Amino acid sequence: MINLMALAAIFAVFAVPALAQTKECNDEFKSTTYQKWWDNRKEHQDVAYQAAKEYLATCTTEDQYSKALAKFVKDYDEQSANVTNRKQFEEAFQKKNYADQIRLGKVILATEPDNSAVNLIMGLAGLGDANLLNESSQYAKKAIQLIEAGKPFAPLTSKDQALAYLNYVTGKSLIKSSPADAIPYLVKAARYDSDLKKNPQVYAELAGAYGEGPIAKLSEEYKAKFTTESPESKLALANINQMIDRQIDALARAAALTTDPANKKAVMDVLTGLYTDRNKSTAGLNEMIAGILAKPVPDIPTPLTSLPATTPGSTPATGGTPPSGGAQNGMTGSATAQTKTGSATASGVGAPKPAASPTPVKKPRLNYRRG
């Protein structure tokens, strides 16, 4: 018993300092600690934060001060987390870590959804990492809305540059899933005053979107509906032809801008075949390429409801003779370009008898590199 009492006394001795350090939630503590927070809440927020934390840890029952102090602590913690996220986001941007740009950007946008710079950077991440293209395009669309409404376009150098790339990302993300929907974005990207305006890949992808989108759709409808020539089949063919003309325009721009010999040949082979099928000759092709960049990129054609009137020297919308090498009883002809990176087939419309549907052109597979 004596030993137990002695041991208890030893514990009591060691416990005294600890008890002495425990703060008591009394009026004096409340007044002093709250005043410390109040005096530092603007100029020395780190000191105010520690005072607020100490007050809330000591006085656990809600009173006239605790609500304001709890809000201050919550806001301070969120701000500190935001500062950390911003710093890490900036590092991800500088290091071109595109996956982290998306991950950290989401955290920032949770409290700042209209931050145009963060939306813009996330929107362009898909150009750096193709695996992120679909996700980043959603932020590209948001960035377009913000910038068009007058929000800053940093870190890019101009509004046109920002909108060109953001529209390009959006269009590019739609090429496989919905090529027809990709066309307006690609057209916009090519029209803005930016370096994309002189990038042949943009026009090659635009040509592909026309072929895999509206031309493929209209061709399938034509094949299913018509077996003999009629006014309706001629009108349907005219609508296909005006889409093919847009393909030719896009490929001509790609040809005019391409300098790499292998890529130049790939584009020219596809363009020549398509142009020949459409016009029954290569006459005027070189002149078209030489002057194409002086013309604005055309809009998507409005569907025709009646056959256009023909004028002397104009390209016929329907009719003609079957293209050489094509199906003599059909309406398609083709030219195939082989390159070291793959092949592309271009087909156009020729004969008047619709025994087969036009074959949409595939964009040439080129070796263009994008940063």
What mean pLDDT is predicted for residues 46-64? Answer: 88
| Residue 368 pLDDT | 40
SS3 337: strand
- 80 pLDDT band (50/70/90 cuts)? confident
3-state SS class at 44:
coil
Beta bridge partners of 336: 345
- Note the pLDDT tens digit of each residue in 197-237: 999 999 999 999 999 999 999 999 999 999 999 999 999 99
Angle formed at CA 281 by CA 275 and CA 287, multiple of 5 degrees: 70
What value does the mean pLDDT take over residues 18-40?
A: 81
- The stretch 68-74 carries a mean pLDDT of 88
> Tell me: the pLDDT tens digits for 96-132?
999 999 999 999 999 899 999 999 999 999 999 999 9
**Furthest-apart CA pair in the chain: how many Å?**
125
The average confidence (pLDDT) of the chain is: 81
pTM of the model: 0.71
Dihedral angle of Cα 371, 258, 140, 148, to the nearest 10 degrees:
120
| Per-residue pLDDT reduced to its tens digit, 341-361 | 222 333 332 222 333 334 444
Nearest to 222, CA basis, from 78, 356, 79, 57: 356
Report the pLDDT value the prediction gives residue 87, as an integer from 0 to 100.
Answer: 94
The reported pLDDT for the residue numbered 22 is 64
Residue with tokens 């416990």: 15
Give dist(CA 38, CA 54) in Å, integer: 14
Checking if the pLDDT of 175 tops 50, the result is yes
Q: For residue 336, name the pLDDT band (cuts at 50, 70, 90).
A: very low
pLDDT band at 74 (very low <50, low <70, confident <90, very high): confident
Residue 329 in this model has a pLDDT that exceeds 60: no
**Token digits of residue 237:** 């063919």
**17 CA to centre of own chain:** 64
Structure tokens at 79: 């701000």
Q: How far apart are CA 337 and CA 353, in angstroms?
A: 27
Encode pLDDT of 236-256 as tens digits: 999 999 999 999 999 999 999
The residue with greater pLDDT, 44 or 332, is: 44
Rounded mean pLDDT, 131-151? 98
Residue predicted with more confidence, 338 or 9: 9
Residue 144 has pLDDT above 50, yes or no: yes
310 falls in which pLDDT band (50, 70, 90)? low
What are the C-alpha distances in Å from 52 to residues 34, 44, 70, 194?
A: 7, 13, 7, 52
pLDDT of residue 41: 87
Higher pLDDT, 113 or 77: 113
H/E stretch holding 294 = none
Residue-level pLDDT at 108: 94
Over residues 169-175, mean pLDDT: 97
> 114 near 146, Cβ under 8 Å?
yes
Instruction: Record the tokens describing residue 177, joined without a space.
Output: 């899933």
